[in-house]
Chains A and B, each alone.
Chain A
Amino acid sequence: MAEKKIRVLVAKPGLDGHDRGAKVVARALRDAGMEVIYTGLRQTPEMIAEAALQEDVDVVGLSILSGAHMALAPRILELLKANGQEDVRVFIGGIIPDEDMPRLKEMGIAGIYGPGASTEDIIRQIREAINK
């Protein structure tokens, strides 16, 4: 039997075009041996949940630098749940003010990363979350 690969959807919800972080993280996860599905810019929460369903991912990684995370994150979590994918871990990176972090964690976001976050930390924490 082939080993189980960690599958990650890296998505950029919202209308901003900051895609460097998403690409850097996608490549880092690939180099860590994961299979990364990259969906590109301007994804709606519905598109993200649909892709997560079709790709049967273990992790959804959102890159949000527009400031819209408090609207986007809960909607995406809600859709994943409605599809029966409440076991999928959701990580967020980008520009997330400190004061929003507790609320996001409470909602069930598994990890939050800002500018300069080390990709090694991201990789390790994704692995830990999966093996929990």
Chain B
Amino acid sequence: MTSAASPEVPVLVRHEWCKGCGICIAMCPKKVLEAAPDGKATVARPEDCIKCETCEIMCPDFAIRVVGGRSKGVAEGKGDVAGARA
């Protein structure tokens, strides 16, 4: 199952690929993501998302997509994860 994407929910989690490692949850600078009871990532506070794409870049399982990510810097490989968290 994949959570629906909409302007209000800009982050998609591909549930069947997610292994519940918690990396996206820890790395999100806005605490948008949470672990569901099964340990997999779920979008808890979509309204806080700044579309920085850190979750997508850091997910080892290709299980997250940020729809309409605004960060050109990320697309160009600029900046680091530490920077995005600051």
Asked if chains A and B come from one complex, the reply is no
Interface on B for A, CB 8 Å cutoff?
Answer: none
